Amino acid sequence: MSVLKEKIDPKNLEKLNALGNAKLNAFVADGIELLNPDKVIVITDSKEDLAMIREMAKNGGGETPLATPGHTYHFDGPKDQGRDTFSTRYLLPKDMDLGESLNSIDRQKGLDEVRGYLKDTMVGRTMLVCFWCLCPTGSDFAISCAQITDSPYVVHSESILYRPGYEQFKKLSENDMFFRFMHSEGETDENGCSVQWEKRRVYIDLTRNMVYSVNTQYAGNTVGLKKLALRLAIQKASGEGWLAEHMFIMGAKGPGGRTTYFTGAFPSACGKTSTAMLPGQTIIGDDIAYLRKRDGVMYTANVEQGIFGIIGDVNPDDDPVIFEALQTPGEVIFGNVLIKDGKPYWDGMGSDLPKSGVNFQGEWTPDKKDSDGNVVPPSHKNARYTIRLDALANLDPEANNPQGVPVGGVIYGGRDSDTQVPVEQAFDWAEGIIAKGASIESETTAATLGKAGVRKFCIMANQDFVSIPLGQYIQNNLDFAAGVKNPPAIFSTNYFLKDENNKFLNGKLDKMIWLLWAELRVNGDVDAIKTPTGWIPKHEDLAPLFKEKLGKDYTKEDYIKQFTIRVPELLAKYDRVEAIYREKVADTPQLVYDTFANIRKRLKDLQAKKGDTVSPLDL
């Protein structure tokens, strides 16, 4: 208390003491001693506190107002434009092993390093202490969180993305767990951007449910409740028998006004948000879902109340709901886009971009090059927008139901130009988890730091965030269907299949048809064609959907190109994935290898009868 009283004025100390939590007080006191701020502000759920944060963000706190009321923009530094998977590590005591596939460091060594970088970083600054709740407050999904940061931009972002948690925190007992996050921007330049990016660290202490991050501003590294909290939640879920997944939740509309709820896991920049935002459907969440079982039914809830979405190619034709929301007055943060005359611009927005402006590299013109001699794009490929879900016209009415919604189907997708068909249903839950979810391969994109265009294995589209041994993670997913009366159907999707001329075989809105076909399958309304790897649609069921929903004639030629079974490519895929498990995942369940063997046999049997490429009409 002496530490708290020294740096916190009576008004803010009263806010902290009202929570009556000794563990929280110790967390804040540790932050004060380590970070050495000039003063401390405690943020409650009140409108006044949130309005104060918005003003702090606009006045030197990381954001600049735009012409549209409520809109602001934020720039991260040129070397701080994505999640840093290289410097994000688990702090593990000597008796804990997550397997070689997960990035870790000795706990004490890592603590010494990151706390050394954090030491005195808030001298001359204000420490902000804020509280949020993952999932609807008062529900069995809910997890309380406390964040310390010196960035009003981070707090403002969290106020948009997460439900207020101060009042929820009052309900915690002394023994209740909560997630903790400590962040500092570190040294910043004249533009307010973190400059010591070589000393960027994002370290996750699983033994304390705590995350440290320093020398970074990009939201994926600093907004603790996003992917950093997902890592903590996966470990918590594993011990308690539920799932924390990198999934959207959305409502697909079937005949007669029926709504079937789907969850979906896609690696970054693979169509996840655009699937969750399909016209005519409803959204509950676009990124992270918790799943629990009650009375023999799987339920899911959205961890968030907002979207931190990739803005590239968001335009009025392909993403009309999001585009409209981004043009409407209200709270929106644009990140790393091009700014000209108080307006934001980005690649693929459906209109001409100005020939000059300001972006994350400073003053911009089309011929500008970066320090490596590369042409600087108008907006970064990983440019973002942050917005509340209730700003969207298609928010599902059950979005904040504390009970969650029942899961009808699960979708796994990735970037694949030459192998998998656009949509396919797994034969059962186990094969869906193994052959669809645990076998995702996807080309890398600008959403993570590093080289783009490399085919990468990404288990359940969750590889970067799994905080338990991968074999255990697969087994948890397999076991989760136990006791469920009708386990959800599992589907794979692939929006990126190309022809021999390297042209996409799918239109951008074709994904709606794959989703609506899946909705019909979940409810037993249509039959399907059996392949060695699952069930695919019949042409006669897809053609009416294309006509009704998109006004397109869907020819048999289109159908054959898209749904031809490419046997050698599929065999090679499962060979690659199995090799990864054998080499890097020592605790892989035997069922994984048995499933791969069965799929391989079915593929080779088809190959012997029909050849390397098999038209769906020949099945």
| Nearest alpha-carbon partner for 177 in 142, 139, 136 | 142
Instruction: List domains and CATH numbers for the chain.
Output: 2-57+82-240 (3.40.449.10), 244-305+400-618 (3.90.228.20), 308-391 (2.170.8.10)
Instruction: Label residue 159 exposed, middle or buried (CB < 10 Å: 0-12, 13-18, 19+).
Output: buried
CB 199 within 8 A of CB 186: yes
CB atoms within 10 A of CB 10: 9
pLDDT bracket for residue 100 (50, 70, 90):
low
Residue type, 171: K
**Mapping DSSP to helix (H, G, I), strand (E, B) and coil, where does residue 340 land?**
strand
Among 257-266, 399-408, 431-440, 464-473, the least confident range: 464-473
| Whole-number Å distance between alpha carbons of 306 and 223 | 13
pLDDT of residue 448: 53
DSSP state of 335: E
- d(C-alpha 441, C-alpha 418), whole Å: 12
CA dist 598 and 494 (Å) reads: 22
Collapsing DSSP to helix, strand or coil, 359 comes out as strand
- C-alpha to C-alpha distance for 10 and 126, rounded to whole angstroms: 16
Question: What burial letters (b/e) apply to 552-573, b meaning 16+ CB within 10 Å?
Answer: bebeeebbeebbbbbbeebbeb
Residue 449 has pLDDT above 70, yes or no: no
Gap between the Cα atoms of 11 and 168, Å rounded: 20
List 285's β-bridge partners, or say none: 249
What letter represents residue 325's amino acid?
A: A
Query: Is the Cα torsion angle 359, 362, 363, 364 positive or negative in sign?
Result: negative
Do the beta carbons of residue 293 and residue 242 sit within 8 Å? yes
Q: What does the alpha-carbon distance between residue 530 and residue 510 come to, in Å, rounded to a whole number? A: 22
Q: Which residues are catalytic?
A: 270
pLDDT at residue 445 greater than cutoff 70? no
State residue 102's pLDDT score.
75
Task: Quote the CA–CA distance of 574 and 534 in Å, as a whole number.
Answer: 14
Q: Tell me the percentage of the chain whose pLDDT exceeds 70.
A: 98
Q: What is the pLDDT of residues 383-442, one digit of tens each?
A: 999 999 999 999 999 999 999 999 999 999 988 889 999 999 999 999 999 999 999 988
Report whether 6 contacts 38 (CB < 8 A).
Answer: no
* Averaged pLDDT, 267-272: 80
Contact call for residues 370 and 296 (beta carbons, < 8 A): no
Q: How many Cβ atoms from other residues are within 10 Å of residue 190's Cβ?
A: 6
| Closest C-alpha to 565, from 599, 521, 541 | 599
